[in-house]
Amino acid sequence: NAGVTQTPKFQVLKTGQSMTLQCAQDMNHEYMSWYRQDPGMGLRLIHYSVGAGITDQGEVPNGYNVSRSTTEDFPLRLLSAAPSQTSVYFCASSPPTGGLVNYGYTFGSGTRLTVV
């Protein structure tokens, strides 16, 4: 199993450019999410999805779009990159809760994005 795969691992963008961060999982997980990690701030939720065709906003959604056309893929789009979006981005997936059991999330290895 590959788990959660993110591409690219590193990216440098100019202000105003757009790009898509790819995320794919092969565990048939229904739940997927995107977080950004900034120094001293832990991880903050950008967008999430509870299944194909269903997405919702997290804590810091501005400047980002997502879609979920398949169970496996959950791309994150930066519409017009800004220096404030310089961060490390993590995609994560999880099976749904089974009764009282919360399985937690499996994380990808991250994309380090720099906007200049």
Partner 1 sequence: GDSVTQMEGPVTLSEEAFLTINCTYTATGYPSLFWYVQYPGEGLQLLLKATKADDKGSNKGFEATYRKETTSFHLEKGSVQVSDSAVYFCALSDGGNNAGNMLTFGGGTRLMVKP
Determine what percent of the chain falls in helix, strand and coil, rounding each to the nearest 5: 5, 50, 45
| Contact status: 105 vs partner 1 (CB under 8 A) | yes
Of 23, 31, 36, 81, the one binding partner 1 (CB under 8 A) is 31
**Nearest-angstrom CA–CA distance, 70 and 74:** 8
Say whether residue 102 binds partner 1 (CB under 8 A): yes
- Beta-strand relationship, 10-13 and 19-25: unpaired
Of 53 and 96, CB closest to partner 1: 96
**Nearest distance, CB of residue 115 and partner 1, angstroms:** 21
Which of 19-27, 39-47, 63-71, 76-84 is the region at the interface with partner 1 (rule: CB under 8 A)?
39-47
**Residue 32 and residue 68: Cα distance in Å, rounded?**
9
Tell me how far apart the alpha carbons of residues 108 and 116 are, in angstroms, rounded to a whole number: 25
Q: Which of these segments, 13-21, 42-50, 61-69, 71-79, binds partner 1 (CB under 8 A)? A: 42-50
Q: Tokens in use for 21?
A: 């961060």
Number of residues that bind partner 1 (CB under 8 A): 30
